[in-house]
Amino acid sequence: MELSFSYPELKDLVAGRKIAVAVSGGADSLLSMVLLKELGADVMAVHGCFLGSEKSALAVAGLELRCAEFGIDLHVLDFKAEFDKMVIEPFIKDYLKGDTPNPCAQCNPQIKFGVLYAAARSFGAELLGTGHYVRIVEHPEYGRMIARGADLGKDQSYFLSLVPREDVLNAVFPLGNHSKTETYSELKKRGLKIPLSSESQEICFVPDDDYRQFLIDRGVKLPGPGDVILSSGEKLGQHKGLWRYTHGQRKGLGIGWREPLYVIEKDLKRNLLILGTKEELGASGCIAEKVNFLVDFDKWPETVRIQTRYRQRSMSSKVRLDGDNLVFEFVEQHSMPTPGQIAAVYTEDGAVLGGGIIRKAL
């Protein structure tokens, strides 16, 4: 099914309206800001400082120049305390309880569409513009909702599945129908220098993507060693602390065996790292908690598409509501979902029904 825009032209929606664009200093948000200005919106730029790093200072310096070129007011806001409380502290707590958290699950609803969007509204903004590669569509069955971006290789709807419905539908995504290649092409055409030319795919606050060293440097009191066992109960050796391992991990286990072994479970109560073979990595379903409904659950189809990792295709699943949790029964063969990661739920045609945090695999 082809999903249509909920408005005939983006220009019709934004012309003359006050829109705050969340600008990071990267290519995507820069082009979004410029496109909205060209479409006749009354644009302001909002940059949140989350870490106080040299990279952030470089971003602000570049954004000041770009905004001056277009006559756009730039608001630079200090959200370091909020970011630490709402993103970094939950990240640490989740690792300590044995999960593998996705900090974007907290950052998007709490920070970008939370405190930053609230600040933008206090400045008079009606809508929030971002550089996400997602679309807002008018679905024939479910009405206005967000959907995958046209560039499926860059689509970021997975990360927005936890943003409350009212907030995400008050946002504007100018890049939803564009590809990353087109973004660079459009910036080059306009002669625009990107403040932060290199883009990291890693966790922004974890240097070199080494979360283990980050936790150590943070001074977190970390659990110590314990036994490594097979799923059958056979002891294989010692682990260095359960927080050092993630579900599905194969490399770096330090265990020799006749065939490759993977982390299939972490037993915090007994401080056990449980390993199994590749055949044991499958799952028949999972449970997701902290659910965000972008469409009321009673309107969901019985069979949905579920995506449990960013770089994974969505797969068919039955779904039911159990109290406040979603229970998925996989229709297709599925690798074991990782507790702490996002479970994003889609229609067959790529519109987002909602999302939750994976509590456990079944």
Extract the runs of DSSP E, i.e. beta strands, from 270-346.
272-276, 282-293, 303-307, 315-322, 325-335, 342-346
Is 204 tagged catalytic?
Answer: yes
d(CA 157, CA 307): 11
Nearest alpha carbon to residue 21 among 13, 31, 11:
31
Residues in Cβ contact with 9 at an 8 Å cutoff, skipping those fewer than 6 apart: none
Q: Which of 49, 67, 104, 107 is catalytic?
A: 107
| Structure token digits, residue 196 | 């932060």
Q: Are strands 143-148 and 134-139 parallel, antiparallel or unpaired?
A: antiparallel
H helix runs in the chain, sequence order: 10-14, 27-38, 54-70, 80-83, 89-96, 104-107, 116-122, 157-160, 165-168, 180-189, 211-217
Beta bridge partners of 290: none
Residue 25: phi and psi, rounded to 5, are 110, -5
Is 104 tagged catalytic?
Answer: no
Tell me 230's DSSP state. E
| Structure token digits, residue 175 | 């890049």
Q: Is 312 exposed, middle or buried (0-12, 13-18, 19+ CB in 10 A)?
A: middle
Active site residues: 107, 204
